[in-house]
Each structure stands twice: as structure tokens, then as C-alpha cells.
Structure 1
Amino acid sequence: MAAGQDLPIIGQSSSIKVGILPNEVSYYLAPNNTSKGYANFVLVQKGNANIDRSRDLLLNLPHFQKKSPYEFLASKGVGYGPKGYISYRGDNTVFTFPDVPTFDSDATDSTILLIFDLIQAYKGEQAIIVSGDFIETRLEGELRIFALTVTPREKTPAKEEYVWAPSESLRSLHTENNTRNLATLSCIWNAPRTPRHLLNTPLPAVTYMYARGLQHIVEKRIRTRFFQENLPIAGVSSRYYSSAFSSGDERHEFSVSVGMEDLEMAVISLASIFAELDTKGAYLEEFQDAKIAIITSAGKSIATPISNSELAEECVSSFLYGTNLASTEELSAFFERRQIPPERELSLFNSFAFALFDPHKALEIRFDTPAVPIDKNALISTFHAAWDIAASSPVQPEIYRKSYGDTLSLLLPKKKGKVSVKSTAKDPVTGGSIWTFSNGARVIFKKTNQKGMLNYGLLLKGGYSYVPDIGPGESSFVGDVMGLFKVSGMSALDFHNMLDANGIEMHGSASLTDMKVLGTAPSDKLELLLKVLLSYSRDRRPDKEAFAYYKECEKLRQERTRLSRDGIIAAIDSTMCPDYYYPATKSIEKLRDDLPERVDSYLDSQFAKFSDGLLVIVGDVSEEKLKRVLGRYLENFTVSSAFSIRPKVEYNLRPGWSTYTVEASQSRIGSGEMSVNMGMATRQPFTIRSYNAFMIASVAMKNAITEAIAPLGMHAEVNVSVQVFPAERLAFYVTCRPCSVEGLPTGIIPAKPMIVLRALRRGISKVSHGTLSQSELEGLKSTLRNGMATKVSQPAFLISAVMMRNSECKDIVSNYQSAINAVTLADVNAVLHDLDFGSKVEYVIR
């Protein structure tokens, strides 16, 4: 403990202001621009987990007599989350009001008033948390004024000191899911939480780094071993629940999803992996690969905006558990300064793994299977037997000693010369530069302040209709198959492991108009990225073993996908467009065994006309360096005067209104719980004006739906889709699901599906019949302007917008503020009407 007390203190993020109001209520103000015009308002009450009392307050507060608190919030578009407005953390209560429109002073002021009414109702220790877009001095002033209306709150008595008391024997749990053949096996180890007095030291950050390293190593070993043993998987996941998640133990969870017929073999393989790590630990090369991936991930975290919800959650944990509020930049700087010899750090990491893994102590195994009996005791016995065997004869070191950071087999550029920039212009989307090189290749570059990272995108015109002999439904697999090639002698698995070890993300996709290669990379890996793209374009061949394994895994993934919201949307789309030759929905029956060879031929033809495309780079790299490196590499890509012609594709958008109702236990889509789903689509000419009118209409419908379903205890998720080719189409999707009853106002419980459906129809019908006012339109315009301001600050969005402009000739970014301002009430009402009376599909799972 003395050594722990000598650890340095990591300072709190300077962007988060923490203070105490005159009534002894704490406050956390966390400015954040990731959702401009919106903020999350949270109230945390220590030691007040009174469910009935908390629910009563959402129904009746002193300053909310005309409208109850929940009705007021819903009228402002502030809807429930999956848990309602209230969640409970042990003995503590958390009220969360997400996405309050801070551009609406009435909404903001009334939400603050609501929070102080809640504060008045409880005498104990409390904290107000606001994360999002607001004027800090103004908000802080308002809080201090409102605080004068409430007498000082009392300190909540301290809880009993935490004691680490792990179970000495393995525990197990069997749950049932709604799939036909998908089983998920999870191993969860508890670990002692970090002592409170050490939470502001580097110790939690080091623990987090080692936990992430362990996740990386375990997941890679699972994917490698299951591939070698031909055990198909639907997915692998892992999660670390730190001391910030609760007042109890930390947890490390590792899961793999397989077919029911492979459950026993999965138990054996997973037990063997953990036993080997518990016996021999990780090897230096794989640990170094994992560390590079973690450091790169930290760089991406700095470059990736944090959401208002995530930021608020950090403040909640700080107030309840004393966890650190250091910024990602500060933590990253700490690790950059942390110089430990690799062998010494490996020893520390392995000590961490040895302390965690045990076949009995602090371990819980969960089996989530279809509704069929399993012999849980026999599977546990199998787990222990496999662990003992692997521990007595662990895997040979050389299996894991290969460093995937090795890139020597990749192609190098020719040395005969280099191309140069022939002309320069300004890009209207990013505000960056368009460079046309002497061989015809085009590059768009935008320098940003995302330290040490860059986003990239390669667009080549010519979509999946150019894949030879493409069959109906096969197009949905083209993007996946693009990742199943051997590159420069590396298998598909080794190639992706190499990218991962160097911090490079890369994935392919194809549409009717083009193919894309997108991803991120560390700025210092720019030349390696271009070497990878060059090798992929010229030194690639199908990996038959990888494709065969992919097919078996995809069968399981499709079983899982149909249970997701994506599966519901895909089913709605297929109903709207039943005769479409290129559906997004995957059907394994449509996938033919020779698709890799045909995609290989397609890629050859695409890379043979590199000049009929575009390379986009947005990030932290100097213009001079980028031009120099591009000059060496772009010469090696094949350019041609050939160009792609869009195919003529026709399909019908089924008109009218269809309703499907199915029992949850019999539904082939949905997660096995009740949900009410609706999709609406209309064909309209795509202009910047019609696009903005549609986006405004979508927000109007979301707000109307939020208000309509609030009395029914439901929360809504909304998606929009804009299609330019083969037909210009606008689509709106909504899914309504029940909230947790404990988080809802008293008297409100999730309603029956058909009641929800009627309310959903009423909400949409109301807004589609011209009830939107001019003042409401101005508020919705502010919402859209704020949303676009957020998006154009994100590199991935800018790249997609650039590609949309160059491939589909549609620009949604240039002068977007003026375009939004030009939208009229008639424009929005026309879109609302056409959506409501266009193609509509309702899918009710009850």
C-alpha cells in the first residue's frame, strides 16, 4: 500500500468544471460539441434507491401542474431511453434526460427547474451533470440562482467499506434465446476493484491497458484456434467492467457464439486458451502487437468525439465512486512518457493475467442457447478437463511467436521515377485541396488536428453489377469477399492481423455505382498504408480456405443478424422492394462458391482504371510529406482512359400499406421481445433542398412519435436512408420497444403492441397532415443545422460526402446552412405527406 500511495496523481480534465452549489449540491459541467444544440441533463442521488418514490416524481412535481414532468419532456422531443428516465446503481438513483435542445431556452430552463424540483424532494447528497453543447458561464449562473430556492442538502452516510470476497468455486448459468441454432458461451472473471484512494493515480489506467491487451490477445487466439479447428463462429467479444461501472467487483467478460452442435468443442477450445495463458502467459511478440493496437486505439479515441452520454457517464462514476476524470489526451500522454523495457512489461502483464485466470475461483460460465435442454454439469466437467490437459501441456511458443507487424512481403514502389501534382483546386466539401497528378490520379486532402491519425478512402467507379455473372442477392456479399484474399503471400487472416498489429483499419464495400476501401491509420504509417493498397491491387488472389470458413460463419451470423434491428429493417425493405435484384439482405443460399474468383476479376478491372476514381485522405499529416509519398506510389497504380458506365436497373417500390403481425416466439426476426416497427418510403428527385426537407421531416416525425408513445412506456429508435441510385428514394424507419418499468412514471407500463401501433400511426398522421407551424419549422432547422455542424467536423462523414459528390453527383455539404434556411414549410409538409402515403410496412412482434 505504501508503494501505491507514492503513485503520482493524474489531473482532472480541464474541460470539465466541478463545483458545489450554495445548497451543497455538486455539479459537473462537461462541454461537448459532438451533438451541437443538445445536452444530456442528469441528476444523481446518493443513497436514494426508492423506486416507487422516484416514479411518483415523474408524474407530479410542484412546478409541473399543467403538464406532468414526463409529458413536458416528451413534448420537447426528450424521450425515454431503454431504461426509461430512471436507473438505479445499487443504493443510488440516476435521472437521465437525454438530448435536451439547448437552443430552445424554454426546454433548457424548464428542465433545470424540473431537476431542482427533484432535488427538493430528497434531502441527501446529490449532483447535477450536464454534458453537451451549452454556454458554460450562463448555465452555471442559472444553476446557482436556482440553488437558492432549495435548502442545503445533507451528506449521505458513507457505505460500508468494500471487501473483496470472491467465490471459491465456479458458478454457472443457463439462459435461453430466440434463435434456432445459436449458442453463446461466456466466461466472466471477477477481480478486486481499485481502492478509492488510488482511483486518481495511474493504476486504473494501467489496469485498463492490461485488460484491453488481454482482450486483444484472447480474441486473436480464439479467432486463430477456431479457424484452425474449423469451428465456425458468429462472433467474438470481450468487455472489461472497471471500478467506474459499480461499487462492486471489476469484471472481465469473454464470449464466443457458435452453432449448438459445436458448443462442447467451443468449451474445450476456450478452456484451453485460458489455461495456456494462465500457465505460460502471453509471448513477447503477441504482447507487443497487442500494445501497438491499444496505443493506436487510444489515438483514435482522441480523434473520435465522445458522445454526451459517455461523458455524462464518466461524471456519474466520478461522483458515485470517485473515479478519475482525466482526459483521453492526458492518459495518452502518460503512457507515452511511461518507458518500461518490453521484457519487464511483459512480466507485469503476465502477472496480471495469472492473477485473473483460474478454473474455479471468481469465475462464472454462462450458456445462452435456444430453448433446448443442455447438460450444464457435463459441460462444466468438460471445461475443467480441457483446462487441466492444456495446463499440463501448453501450446508450443512458436505458434504465437510470429510478429504480425512484419510487412516485408508487401510490394515496394518501382524506383524508375515518380509522378507529380499537375493541377490543384479547392474541394468544396472538405475545404481541402484536390490534386490531379501527372498520370491522371486524383487525391483530395484535408489536414485536420486529429493528432497522429488519418482517415482514408479509395473510391473506384463501377459497382457490383460489373462482377461477372453476378446472381440475384449475391451483391450483398461482395464487400465481405473483398476481405477474403491472400495478399503478398499472406493468408487473409495473417493479412488482417498484420494490419491490426500496425494500427490500420481497412474494409471494403461495393454498391451499384462504385467500390470503396475505407479505414483509418496512424499518421506515421502513411507509407505502409499505400504499400498495403498497392499490394492489394496487384498481388492478390482468393483464399479458398478463408472463404469456406466465412460461409460457415456467415450462416451463424445471419441467424444472429435477423434478431437485430438491422434484420428488421432488412425485412421491411425486402417487403417494400420484393423484386430488387441487388438487395442489402444477405441470404446464404444465394452465395455461390466461385464468387471469390469473380470478385477477383472485378477487382482487377477496377484497379486497371485507377484514374477513374479518387483517393481521399483527411487527417494529421503534412502536405509536403503526403505529396512526396504519393508521388512515389501513385505511379505504380494502373491508369486508363476507360471509365465506368452506370447500369440501367429498375425495380418497383410497392405502393400502399402492409401490416404484418407475428408472435415473438415464432418471429424469424427481432430479439425475441415485443417491438413495433414501421418503414415508410417515397420516390422523390434528390436535390439539396429535398434532402434537407426530408431530414427536417424526419426530426419532426421522431418528435411526434416520442410524444405519442410516452404514455405507453415505449422508447423509439429512428433511422433514415437516402438512396440516389438506381432510383432516388427517401426512407424512414422507426422501432418502438418497451422500457424498463422501474424507470417509468407511476402508473405507466409498456402497452400492448397494437395499442402502440395505433399511437404510432396517430403521431405520424398528425404531423403529416400539415400541423407543423412556422415556429416549429425554425426550431427543426436549428436542429438540422446543429446536426450538420457536428457531422462536418467528423473525418469519416466528410469522406463519405466527398465520395457521394464524386460518384453520385450529389453534394449535401457545400453551403449547407443556406440550403437549410431555404427549406419552406410547404417543402417539409410535402415530404411528410409523401412518406405517410407512399410505401409503408408495419411489422409487429408481440
Structure 2
Amino acid sequence: MKLQQRILTFLAVVSLGVATFSGVTPLRAQAPQSIPALPLDTAVRMGKLPNGLSYFIRHNAEPQARAEFYIVQRVGSMQEEDSQRGLAHFLEHIAFNGTKHFPGKGIDHFLEGIGASFGSNINAYTSFDETVYTLMNIPVPRKSVVDSCILILHDWSNSLSLEDKEIDAERGVIEEEWRSRDSGDARNQERLLELTFPGNKYGQRMPIGKMDIVRNFPYQVLRDYYKKWYRPDQQALVIVGDINVDEVEASIKRLFADIPAPVGAAERVYVPVENNDKPIVAIASDPEATQNLLSITYKQEVTPPEIRASILGVAMRYVKHMITAMANERFGDITQKPNAPFLGASMDIGPLFGLAKTKDATGFGAAFKEGAWEPALKALTAEMVRIKKYGFNKSEYERARKEYLVNVKKLYNERNKRKNKAWAEEYVSYFTDGGTLLDIPTYYDLISKMSEQITLEQINGALAELLTEDNLVLMLSSVKKDGVKIPTEAEFLAAYETGIRQQVEPLKEAVSNEKLLDKLPMKGKVVKELKDQKYGSTIWTLSNGVRVVLKKTDYKEDEILMSAQRGGGSLSMTASPLDKKLLNQLSDLGGLGKFDVTALGKALAGRIASVSTNVSNLYDDISGSSSKEDLETMLQLLYLSITAPRADQEAFKTWQEQTLAGLQAAKANPLSSLGDSISRFLYPKSPERYPLTEAEVKEANYERVLKLHHSRFATAEGFTYYFIGNIDEATLRPLVERYIASLPVKKGVQHKAPYDKVVRAIPGTHTKLYSKEMATPTGIAVNSLSAPSTYSHKGILIASTLSSILDQLYTKTIREDEGGTYGVSANVSLGRYPQPYYSMTVQFQTEPTKVEKLNALVFHGLEDIAKNGPSQDYFDKAIKNMEKEHSESLRRNGYWLSQLNHYYGQGLDLVTDFDQVRKSITPAEVQALAKQLIEAKDRITIYFKSIEPKK
């Protein structure tokens, strides 16, 4: 039977199955024997070696000459014993510190030598039930590189060195990773897991582990864990990219042949999650928590794998997606109104708390203002009751269906331009969780037909089974401080029970099929056209004087990006610092034309188009994006943004309420005030740079800010528009004439960038110390150096080279040698205004007693480069990585959009001579820059050291 006929047959079966959702065939049903698994995508080569190792290989050339190499372990923190908590994550770290074929830092050295970088291209993650090692976007110029990457996967699978000295060196790094994450919210989360999984491993296995174990476990314990769990029967290779599939498969079979099949292996058990007859109520609070959250969850049995692999599984996913999309639209509408009972709310259907493999759940959650859990719970349960009792209405379903279909259509349109990473992640998910692997055309066809067959009545019928009243879990997370009432478990449960007995009315049908524009603007004209060979661009001059630059690309099939810019910005305005600070926050609260924000979102359902405006220090900017089909919609939004911005006092009041709640909650984080303190220290006369305060939010003048913002965009004079993507000029031209050439042009608006008004940080040499009580001992160092220079393309690239070198150097000296931090952020750049200057910033987090000692290494490293020049190895890797990143950028629409702006708007050509300039950079020039910085008169060091909270 042909595939198309099979799909149609399956759809007929699904119609019968879905039609009974409201009856006896539940979403948790056993798969009927008559429903087979869906066909697998034949473009991916799948197999299993005799030793049990699985593999997925796919040729894909986006991006060109690049590939992803993953090894997936169906092993995570759930395989740890109580005395091993943290070893799964520790093993993930130590895998980069020496293997059979890549001793020491051999993996990093090899990959960095071909242009990859640690973090962005070389990484891994550990979860409860899996650990995944990722070599991402790796250059593959020849087969030997591919084989070397496969050999790395081989060593991760079976040949880690696990040397004593490397284990000891990594202990400090992991403790610093824990330190960087141990916030009040993280502590609340860990406590809630313990309470909601009573007596179950899922409540005791946060992957970061316990630091007393990380600091002290015997070496052999880690080696035993590795030998026990890292085995081919629990592993899969995922290799996707510009590779030869046959050659890769042969290399896998050859290189992994020496790994034997496990004998007498420990059983890999997915820990079951128990049902609960009585409600589980979990409450956690912490003085440093910034998130106030509550959730209502109904545990459910997982869908059997045979159903998830069938067409019924696809139908179930569709139904669940529709339900959550419609519910979340309702919650979003509520939060757009003043005096909303919660700051945000959502519904989700999937694995319990997003992590359990053996239990699914339907969950509702809400964020609330400090102490305001009762109104949030009442409102959340009211919507749950309304949904369960009355279901959703036709307009809601139509919008949700349109949104789903437009995204599936975009996936289909972009199927030949899909990135390697997207394919790789799909195969990782398939190996760890099962499901389907349909090819995209079949999936698109299936969803298109399915969405026509599944009715609103059938979806509403499924609600009875999702919104049950058993297996209940209630959770609340709150800040702990005087004046904030936290309920007891009994009070929280009683409030829930009262809430689900509420009497509610059905939601009124809200149909939104109005046009964005009732009357189209009068068209202008393209009065001049120029074909520029420089970047292969077309330049139009319009009848209103606006210039349009467009460049057609084939990097994405269904993407068009737009931007516009002119000089001006906030520095050209005569306005208060507060009004300038609020310009971009308040400008789009009201919606456009006749639509408020909520109505506009509904009117745009099923369309991929957006436009936004922004006022920076020096420029007025407009940006937008769309699919090919929705290009006109994007330009209509542009026209409305310029000619019909909308004020909405209720939206402004909502913004005030939510912003004040956010600022109030943030105070609980001891570091929340650090950014404000640093800004005030560095820019004592520039209050517009300081973070927004509660007093300023209350003081905000909505009308004045809107008038100020709209004054910048009410005229099109001086703007240059840029379009890039899969553009058809014949289609774009009349739309530009209609919606851009018709924009008003009014004289008198300053559109010259006020470069001379750019404010720099305070000059001179300064050291500043801040401190605050904090539960987790924390130290932070922030360094800023600057030195005068001249502005050039080469200068930009020299700065980038030094930045990369410092990143490598500090990773070795501060992270690896000292075990002093989880990561160091180092950046060197060349600024242009008000006069050209080099700047360097370095910051890291550590233990308070170490911060000054480690910070000395920052300057020691820079001094050594200034005196002796950079390491040739570091220099070569930096240049190679720069080359790699640039070659990848040349295939991105976003990169070209910015380059068009640089060239036509600011006269900077950063593309044409890139390779020539890059090749001309020498270690001596990097050394000279380091010397400039180390001798700089402008040097600022800021320390933060926490102090122990008073008991």
C-alpha cells in the first residue's frame, strides 16, 4: 500500500479513536492492535551494533561543511546511590579531562585547533535520566576530522582516563557551578521536589548533587559508577551534517568494535512514580527567593510507547497542544488587564514537573505578587472550572489551529534548510523518549488532514480525562520575610477545594476577523533604482525620500527580515532621564490602530509577522520579520506602528502593577542591587543608565513618554530600510510603494547621530568593594580597562583575537588550574564614540576569600601577554575560531542585515576584506594591544563579597 493511502487509512482510524475521547477511549488508552507504528524517515540511517550501541546518521548540509556529533547516555542522576549524589554530573565534567586517545585536554585542543570553542561548540549536560555530550557545528573539511570526532565519542563511551589529579582539579569547578546556581529559588525548587516525591529518587537527585560528596568521594567510586553505567546498550551516537553516511557508518562499526557487549550488567530501571490517594501539599520559602509561584498538578499514567509511535500518538499530541494553547491564551488575556489576580499563568500537559519518565501530568501554574497567593489560586481554579465545565469555543480553537498549522507549514517550507542541530536534537529525543520519526512532508500532510478531522467537540470531550480530581499535587514557592503570609498546608488545600467548587460563567465568544487596515494607504513610488555589485544589493529611492536596500538570499526558504535605522536616539532628545529610560518599555503597550495588544494578537493568529521600534542612545531603529506569505502583514504592521500607535491607560496600569511586583520580588536576591550600585559608580552623571526604581515606576508619565517616542517615528525622513531573505522583488516592490513610500515625511526632526554626547565610564583608576548578607558565600570580581585608539576594521579583529585568547587563558588558569570559578567572562572590543578606544571587561564569581587572589591572575595573564606576547597555540586557535564563525555568519540573514546597515548607513565595510584583514593580524599586534590595556590610566576593579546572614 502506498504511503499516502496508508496515511488516509490511518486518519480514518484516528477519526474513530478521537471521536470516543469523550467516552470510553481515553487519552491513556492502550494502543489498538490494528494501529501500527508510523513509518520512520528513510533519510536517517539507524542501526545497532552487536554490542548494543545504537546510532543515527543523517546527511544534511545546513550549515555547509559542518556536523553535529552527539553521544547520548540513557543514564543520569537517577542511577546514583545516596552516597553518589553528584557523580553523574561530575562524570560529565571529567570526560573532557583526558581519555585513552586524547590525554589531558586533548579533546579541547584538537577541536579548538580546527576552529571549535569550548562552551559554544563543545559541551554536555546531565539530567535525571540522561547525559548527552555534544560536539556542535564542528568543521568537517575532510574524513580524518570526522573519524577523529567519532573517536572522541568512542572514548566518552568507554575510555575515560579518570586520573586522580584531574578528579581533584574538577571538584572546585563543580562547587563553583553549584555556587553560581544556589539561589533562594533553587533551594525552594529542591525542597519542593523532596516534598512532592516523598520517598522517591526523583525528589533526591538534583543533578548538581551534594557538595560534601563532590568534595570528598573516593576516586574509585567514580570509576565504578562509570564502568557500571556507561555501556553501549544504554548509548546512542547521533551524527548529522555535511558527511558521507556510508563512511560514517563504517567508521562507527570499526571504531566501536573493541567495546564488548555488557555481561551481567545492572538493570537500567526507570523509577516509577507512585500515585497518591490523598493530595500532596508542598510549600517552600526562602529569604532570598524572587519567584512566588503556585501550581496545581494532576498526575496521570504515561502514554504507552506503542501509542506514541502510532498515528493515535500524533493525534493525542495535537489535541493536547490545542488544549494548552487555548488555555494559555485565556491566561494571557487575564494578565493584560489591570488588577490581574496573578502576574502570569499557564497550563502544561507532559512529563510530571517536566522531568519524570514514568508519570505524566496536567498542570496549571501561576506567578503572584508577594503574599497574594489566595487571589491567584482563586482565579486559577476559576479558569480551570470554566474550562472543564464549558470547554473552549470555536474562535479559540480556530486561532489555536491556525497557529499550529502555520508553524507546521513553516517547518515544511524550511525542510531543505533545516539546521543540523534541529535534526540531532530530534534523534536524541527519539532515543531517550521514543515517539515518531516521520519525514517532514508526511508529517505536514498528516497534520493538515488531521486538523480538519478533529473537531472542537472532540477536544472538549478530552478535557474530562485530563482535568481529573485524583492524584493531586499542590505546590507553593514563596519569599520568606516579615509581612508576607505563607499558608499552612491545610490552609492551602482548603483554598484549593473552595476554588474548584466555584460557580463560573462560560467565556463569551470573541471573534476577531477584522482587517488590520480598513483602508489601504495611497501608494507612493520607487523613483530610482540602483543595482549595487558591492553586496549584490538593490537600492530603491522612494517618492517620499526614504531609501530601501534589499538583498535576496537562499539561506532560509521562508524568512524575510527587515530593519530600518536613522541617526537620532535618546541622546538627541531634550527630555528627563526617566522619560528616556521608559521610551522602549511603554511604547508598544497600547497596540496598533483599532486593536489593543490582546485583540492584535488574536487578529494575527496564524500569521508569522512582527514589527517593533526601539530608541537607542544614537539611533532610531525599526525591526521586523515575516514568512514569505505574510510579508504584506509585516508591512501593514510597520505602517500602523508609524501612523497609528495606540495609547491604552489600562495597559499602562497593568505594566505599572507588574513592574512594581517584579522589582519588589527582586529585592530578595542579595545581588539585585549590585547592578544599580555599579551603574551609579561608573556613570555618576547619567541617571538614564541606572536600573528602574519603584519610585520611578510610580512617577512614570505615560502620555508624555508616548508623545516623546512617537515624535521620533512620526516622520520617515532620514530612515533607510533594509530587507533580506527569500525576497521576490516583483512582490516586494508594490508593497514597499504602498506601505513605506506612503509614510509621512515631516521636517524638523533631528536625525543626525549625536556621537559627541556618548558618555563613557568615569576616568582614572578605582577600586570599589560592595558587600551584603547572603546565604551562599559569594564573591564577584568585575574589571574594566580602557585605552585610546584609532578605529579600523583591523582594530576590531585584533580586539576579538585578544578576547578569545584571554578566554582560553583564564579558563586554564582560573577555572582549571585553581578550580576557582565555573567560568570567566572576558571581552575586548573597540569602541568608536565619542573618540575611538579599546575596552576590556573581565568578570567571574567565586568564594569570597578567593576573589582577590584569583583576580590577580587576570592582570598577571594580561601582563604576561604584554611582556612576552600571546601563546602561539592560543593565537592560532583564536584566528581559526574567528575564521569559522565568519564563514558561518555569511550564511545567516541576520548577519547580512546588520552588514547592510553598517555599510549603507554608517559607511563601514566589514565583509569584503575580512579574510585579508584576518590573515594580516600578528601576535605582535595582539601583544601591543595587551600592553596598551595594561598601561591604561583608566582601570576599574569592583569586588563583591557576601557576609554571613545574622542569625
Provide TM-score, normalisation by structure 1. 0.82
SS at 1:505 equivalent = strand
Of 360, 379, 384 in structure 1, the residue corresponding to residue 497 of structure 2 is 384
Q: Does 2:515 align with 1:402?
A: no
Matches within 5 A, 1:286-301: 286-298=396-408
Q: Does 2:789 align with 1:682?
A: no
Deviations 1:617-674 (A, max 9, x none): 33344221111222222342113566612234143423435354535628xxxxx784
Q: Counterparts of 1:4 and 1:679 in 2: how far apart (Å)?
A: 66
- Match of 1:819? 917
Q: Does 2:538 align with 1:433?
A: yes
Of 689, 692, 697 in structure 1, the residue corresponding to residue 802 of structure 2 is 697
Deviations 1:468-497 (A, max 9, x none): x42225433211212123532323443344
SS at 2:549 equivalent = strand
Of 564, 571, 577 in structure 2, the residue corresponding to residue 465 of structure 1 is 571
Q: Counterparts of 2:148 and 2:778 in 1: how far apart (Å)?
A: 33
| Alpha-carbon distance, 1:254 to partner | 4.4
Q: Does 2:551 align with 1:446?
A: yes
- Match of 2:104? 67
2:233 touches 2:261 (CA, 8 Å); kept in 1? no
Distance change >3 Å, CA 608–CA 650, structure 1 → 2:
closer
- Match of 2:211? none
SS at 1:388 equivalent = coil
| Alpha-carbon distance, 1:701 to partner | 2.2
- Match of 1:192? 301
- Match of 1:222? 331
| Structure 1 unmatched ranges of 5 or more | 667-671, 739-748
The two structures, once aligned, show a CA RMSD in angstroms of 4.5
1:427 touches 1:444 (CA, 8 Å); kept in 2? no
- Match of 2:739? 633
Q: Counterparts of 1:517 and 1:241 in 2: how far apart (Å)?
A: 38
Distance change >3 Å, CA 37–CA 437, structure 1 → 2:
same
Q: Does 2:279 align with 1:170?
A: yes
SS at 1:524 equivalent = coil
- Match of 2:38? 9
Matches within 5 A, 1:563-602: 572=678, 575-583=681-689, 585-591=691-697, 595-602=701-708
| Alpha-carbon distance, 1:560 to partner | 6.2
2:902 touches 2:908 (CA, 8 Å); kept in 1? yes
Matches within 5 A, 1:669-818: 674=778, 676=780, 678-682=782-786, 684-708=789-813, 709-710=815-816, 712=819, 714-716=821-823, 718=825, 724-725=832-833, 728=836, 736=844, 757=855, 770-818=868-916
1:271 touches 1:384 (CA, 8 Å); kept in 2? no
SS at 1:548 equivalent = helix
SS at 1:274 equivalent = helix
Matches within 5 A, 1:282-681: 282-298=392-408, 312-326=424-438, 331-340=443-452, 344-371=454-481, 374-377=486-489, 378-389=491-502, 392-393=503-504, 395-398=505-508, 401-404=509-512, 406-408=513-515, 410-415=517-522, 418-426=524-532, 428=534, 431-449=536-554, 450-467=556-573, 469-499=574-604, 502-558=607-663, 572=678, 575-583=681-689, 585-591=691-697, 595-640=701-746, 644-647=751-754, 648-654=756-762, 655-656=764-765, 658=767, 660=769, 662-663=771-772, 665=774, 674=778, 676=780, 678-681=782-785
Q: Counterparts of 2:821 and 2:51 in 1: how far apart (Å)?
A: 35
1:299 touches 1:451 (CA, 8 Å); kept in 2? no
Deviations 1:697-733 (A, max 9, x none): 2222222233231352743274857754556566566
Provide TM-score, normalisation by structure 2. 0.74
Aligned-pair identity in percent equals 15
Q: One-letter code of the match for 2:157?
A: I
SS at 2:368 equivalent = strand
SS at 1:532 equivalent = helix
Distance change >3 Å, CA 603–CA 675, structure 1 → 2:
same
1:234 touches 1:557 (CA, 8 Å); kept in 2? no
Q: Counterparts of 2:365 and 2:824 in 1: how far apart (Å)?
A: 27
Q: One-letter code of the match for 2:569?
A: G
Q: Counterparts of 1:821 and 1:565 in 2: how far apart (Å)?
A: 43
Deviations 1:86-105 (A, max 9, x none): 62544x65555677776799
| Alpha-carbon distance, 1:602 to partner | 3.6
2:586 touches 2:706 (CA, 8 Å); kept in 1? no
Distance change >3 Å, CA 730–CA 193, structure 1 → 2:
farther
Q: Counterparts of 2:52 and 2:765 in 1: how far apart (Å)?
A: 59
| Alpha-carbon distance, 1:511 to partner | 0.5
Taking CA–CA contacts closer than 8 Å with sequence separation of 6 or more, which of the two structures ends up with the larger relative contact order? 1
Distance change >3 Å, CA 572–CA 280, structure 1 → 2:
same
Q: One-letter code of the match for 2:580?
A: S
2:53 touches 2:233 (CA, 8 Å); kept in 1? yes
Q: Counterparts of 1:697 and 1:790 in 2: how far apart (Å)?
A: 21
Q: Counterparts of 2:338 and 2:135 in 1: how far apart (Å)?
A: 49
Q: One-letter code of the match for 2:35?
A: D
SS at 1:636 equivalent = coil
Q: Counterparts of 1:147 and 1:330 in 2: how far apart (Å)?
A: 34
Q: Counterparts of 1:236 and 1:681 in 2: how far apart (Å)?
A: 44
Distance change >3 Å, CA 517–CA 736, structure 1 → 2:
same
- Match of 1:19? 47
1:61 touches 1:117 (CA, 8 Å); kept in 2? no
2:337 touches 2:651 (CA, 8 Å); kept in 1? no
1:233 touches 1:553 (CA, 8 Å); kept in 2? no
Q: One-letter code of the match for 2:761?
A: L
- Match of 2:157? 119
Q: Counterparts of 1:191 and 1:421 in 2: how far apart (Å)?
A: 65
| Alpha-carbon distance, 1:453 to partner | 3.9
The structure having more radius of gyration, on CA atoms, is 2
SS at 1:487 equivalent = coil
| Structure 2 unmatched ranges of 5 or more | 1-29, 159-226, 947-951
- Match of 2:201? none
SS at 1:228 equivalent = coil
Q: One-letter code of the match for 1:384?
A: E
| Alpha-carbon distance, 1:428 to partner | 4.6
Distance change >3 Å, CA 353–CA 830, structure 1 → 2:
farther
Of 38, 41, 49 in structure 1, the residue corresponding to residue 79 of structure 2 is 49
SS at 1:457 equivalent = strand
- Match of 2:166? none
Distance change >3 Å, CA 151–CA 388, structure 1 → 2:
same
Stretch deviating more after TM superposition (788-797 or 112-121): 112-121
SS at 1:606 equivalent = helix
| Alpha-carbon distance, 1:519 to partner | 3.2
- The count of corresponding residues between Structure 1 and Structure 2 is 818
